Amino acid sequence: MIDFSCTNENFRNDLMELIRAFEQRTDETLSLCVGYVVRKGELKVELRSDKFDNFVKFRAFPFAPADDMEAKRLMKRYLKIAIYDTLVFLTGVELPYGCLTGIRPTKLYAELGEGAHDVFKKDFFVRQEKLELIERIVDAQRGKRNPDPERVADLFVFIPFCPTRCAYCSFVSMPVDRQRKLLRPYTDCLLQEISYLKKTAKKLGYTFRAVYIGGGTPTALPLDMLDEVLSAAAVRGVKEFTVEAGRPDTITPEALELLKKRGVKRISVNPQTFNDATLERIGRRHTSADVERAYALAQKAGFDVNMDLIAMLPGESAEDFFRSVDRAAELAPANVTVHTLYLKKGSALRVEGYKSTENATAERMVDYACRKLTEAGYEPYYMYRQKYTSGNLENVGYALPGKACLYNMDIMEEDTTVFAAGAAAISKKVTPAVNLIERCANYKEPLEYVKHFDTVMAKQKAFWGV
């Protein structure tokens, strides 16, 4: 445990992310107190700890920000560097991403431009193999990013229902059988919101390059309602139309036929693991044979398929995970997304007190996945990190040549306006000319979304100004 304090409480949350990453990897108990002052073009940082007979360290960084925003950004960056450096010395622990926190390492790398490699390596202490992964992804995205963010947008629709709730799930998602009464009103609201967003996009001069129906498990909806949603969301000539089907227990020949008829090109069939004992443990109501059956159907119907795998599921050894990666590579779907388990508040596993502390195993797992999948012809093409991930690692999307998902890149690199409908959906207006991103968040809970739908629409109208 690290008893951390900082003279600027406003930075505490950001800095705590780094402290927590160390706490995940050490059993040491120590204090760390950080203070700083700006003087004569320098940010001087003082770090004190009760370890090593009241350790004290001073660091100084050149400090000449152009404005308040840059001042804040630089302060946070330098404090993280000073803290990281000190904690490495005090604990003997190094982190794969060094002092780099935040969800989007590839976005930051691209923003830093020519000097990015050196900043990531020398200032942020990012490990060589992680730096190579980031650079590979930045390269893979060249030529695939939104060519005209002023005019080209994405449409996102959220379906917050699933067959059952997985033990690690922290998304807004409800078991569909227990919400039968909510399905009709939810769908009705969704249809209205989609229709408004599509008209608004047109009035504002946008075309869509990707439509993404996410969840939850969209295919958990009764097929007549799913049909209504698909028909409302479909956009003629769109480059990419994805339905995150996900759970194989919802992927039937009828569902696939419907998706095909409505122009869907990409679906997910998510094994998470090919180990049946684990599937039972995490509350998925299907087996690995169901995944293979659903995948065969989807392949036959001509969909591009994404498969999600999760490293560090409870009870799984590295070898269990390797077998899942091997099987996914053999099946050769268009995309494989490798997640590292993260447990936010609200997940059953976290409530039960499950804690994954095997950082070395987590690293072996994601390294193996990267090696195996790239050897099998996949290219890593997008990545993100989350706060409570095992080993403070990453989630990476891999694609066969020509199969990278545009929507995933747009979301992670934040360079595309997103018109988003449904509970928990967040619309995003991107204005690249002034480097501005504005957001409009809907009610998270489906019941609230339906109950306060007038407010939802009023907010959307005020946000888009149409």
Q: Which spans of this chain sit near ligand SF4 (rule: CB under 6 A)?
A: 162, 165-166, 169, 171, 173, 215-217, 246-247
Q: How far is the CB of 165 from ligand SF4 (least distance, A)?
A: 5
Q: Which is nearer to ligand SF4, 250 or 359 (CB)?
A: 250
Q: 46 Cβ partners below 8 Å, 6+ apart?
A: 34, 35, 36, 56, 57, 58
Return the closest-CA partner of residue 130 out of 356, 394, 335: 394
Q: How far is the CB of 217 from ligand SF4 (least distance, A)?
A: 5
Q: How far is the CB of 369 from ligand SF4 (least distance, A)?
A: 19
Tokens for 51?
């370890």
DSSP assignment letter at 119: I
Q: How far is the CB of 337 from ligand SF4 (least distance, A)?
A: 12
How many C-beta neighbours within 10 Å does residue 58 have?
Answer: 9
Tokens for 412?
């992670």
Vertex 102 angle, CA 389 and 138, to 5°: 100
Q: Which is nearer to ligand SF4, 208 or 212 (CB)?
A: 212
Q: Which is nearer to ligand SF4, 35 or 175 (CB)?
A: 175
Q: Which is nearer to ligand SF4, 152 or 166 (CB)?
A: 166
Q: How far is the CB of 284 from ligand SF4 (least distance, A)?
A: 7
Tokens for 414?
């934040």
Q: How far is the CB of 331 from ligand SF4 (least distance, A)?
A: 19
Q: 122 Cβ partners below 8 Å, 6+ apart?
A: none
Query: Taking the CA atoms of the chain, what radius of gyration do you get in angstroms?
Result: 23
Q: Which helix (H) or strand (E) element contains residue 55?
A: strand 55-62
Count of all residues that appear for the chain in the document: 466
Q: How far is the CB of 361 from ligand SF4 (least distance, A)?
A: 22
Q: 457 near 192, Cβ under 8 Å?
A: yes
Q: How far is the CB of 347 from ligand SF4 (least distance, A)?
A: 9
From the number of C-beta atoms within 10 Å of its C-beta (0-12, 13-18, 19+), residue 57 rates as middle
Q: Which is nearer to ligand SF4, 165 or 451 (CB)?
A: 165
Q: Which is nearer to ligand SF4, 87 or 169 (CB)?
A: 169
Q: How far is the CB of 370 from ligand SF4 (least distance, A)?
A: 23
Query: Does residue 216 have a cis bond before it (omega within 30 degrees)?
Result: yes
Q: Which is nearer to ligand SF4, 217 or 288 (CB)?
A: 217
Vertex 446 angle, CA 440 and 448, to 5°: 75
Q: Which is nearer to ligand SF4, 166 or 294 (CB)?
A: 166
Q: Which is nearer to ligand SF4, 109 or 168 (CB)?
A: 168
Q: Which is nearer to ligand SF4, 162 or 404 (CB)?
A: 162
Report strand pairing: 426-431 vs 436-441. Answer: antiparallel
Q: 92 Cβ partners below 8 Å, 6+ apart?
A: 26
Ramachandran class of 81: left when φ > 0, alpha when ψ lies in -120 to 50, beta otherwise? alpha
Q: How far is the CB of 378 from ligand SF4 (least distance, A)?
A: 22
What type of residue sits at position 4?
A: F
How many C-beta neighbours within 10 Å does residue 246 have?
Answer: 27
